[in-house]
């Protein structure tokens, strides 16, 4: 709806403003080419502060081909059942900081996809939504690269996922040097998940996943499988689980960990995970 392209040094300050996308008129048509509310394409040195957006037809904010951008005190709100309404969607960008923001949507609070690096999300309150996701990567047998991502001091409340990496079978590229740290969880479904079969195929995951750290997670899960590391046949390597305590939100029901083709180490982790030290 609003697009800034090839603009350097742009400053947006919206403390008294609200942008409403009136998405409810679009959501019933899931196959329609629904627009984002606010897009930034090839914008460098960008600063967006104190902006409120609600009810986007699709993603609320898209960041594509940008370098050096800061988003702070962003308030995004759409219903949990609004389709594909990512809060912030980042692609082909680097040196992006998102901080001190509240994101409630019907899809990922933040999605980081191909050719993106040095992405930092800190102080994010996410929920409802699908959590903070790397991917999906490798769609349509494509090549995607995501690296140097840090998600720090964030909270997830009643989301369907927490910290997630998702790749399509048959794609190529890699996701590496990714850290999720100091995460607070409150009644959501998949706290920690690596899903290398996002398209539900049985072929080996072609996107390499390595050097991923999950540290300092605390809270409750509505799913008895609190940690799910579902890697393809090539395996995921240098996966670290550290200082994690996730329990079931249902009294007397234990939480569990599932590891498939995941290699690394788990220390001070509840539920216990038997990661291969390969």
Q: What residues act catalytically?
A: 107, 130
CA-CA distance, 208 to 232, in Å (whole number)?
Answer: 9
| Torsion angles phi and psi, residue 140, rounded to 5 | 55, 40
**Euclidean distance between CA atoms 121 and 162, whole angstroms:** 13
Taking CA atoms, 119 is separated from 65, 75, 258, in Å, by 13, 19, 28
Cβ contact 130:166 at 8 Å: no
Q: Give the CA radius of gyration of the chain.
A: 18
In the sheet that holds 110-112, the strands lie side by side as: 2-5, 38-41, 61-64, 88-91, 110-112, 132-137, 161-167, 190-195, 225-230, 256-260
Alpha carbons 234 and 163: distance in angstroms, whole number = 22
Please state, in angstroms and as integers, the Cα–Cα distance from residue 247 to each residue in 43, 72, 190, 224, 255, following that order.
Answer: 43, 32, 12, 8, 6
3-state secondary structure of 79: coil
């Amino acid at each position: 709806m609003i697009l800034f392209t090839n603009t350097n040094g742009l400053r947006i300050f919206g403390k008294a403003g609200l942008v409403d996308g009136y998405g409810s008129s679009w959501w019933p048509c899931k196959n329609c080419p629904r627009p984002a509310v606010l897009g930034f394409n090839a914008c460098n040195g960008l600063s967006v502060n104190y902006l409120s957006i609600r009810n986007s037809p699709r993603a609320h904010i898209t960041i594509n081909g940008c370098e050096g951008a800061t988003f702070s005190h962003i308030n995004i709100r759409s219903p949990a059942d609004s389709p594909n309404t990512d809060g912030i969607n980042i692609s082909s960008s680097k040196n992006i900081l998102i901080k001190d923001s509240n994101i409630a949507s019907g899809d990922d609070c933040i999605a980081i996809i191909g050719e993106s690096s040095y992405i930092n999300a800190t102080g994010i309150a996410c929920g409802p939504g699908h959590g903070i996701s790397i991917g999906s990567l490798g769609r349509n047998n494509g090549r995607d690269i995501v690296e140097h991502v840090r998600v720090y001091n964030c909270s997830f409340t009643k989301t369907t996922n927490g910290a997630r990496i998702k790749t399509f079978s048959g794609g190529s590229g890699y996701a590496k040097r990714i850290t999720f740290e100091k995460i607070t969880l409150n009644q959501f479904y998949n706290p920690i998940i690596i899903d290398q079969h996002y398209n539900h195929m049985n072929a080996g995951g072609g996107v390499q996943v390595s050097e991923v750290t999950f540290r300092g997670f605390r809270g409750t899960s509505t799913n008895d499988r609190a940690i799910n590391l579902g890697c393809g046949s090539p395996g995921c390597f240098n996966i670290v689980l550290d200082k994690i305590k996730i329990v079931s939100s249902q009294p007397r029901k234990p939480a569990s960990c599932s590891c498939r083709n995941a290699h690394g180490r788990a220390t001070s982790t509840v539920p216990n995970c038997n990661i291969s030290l390969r």
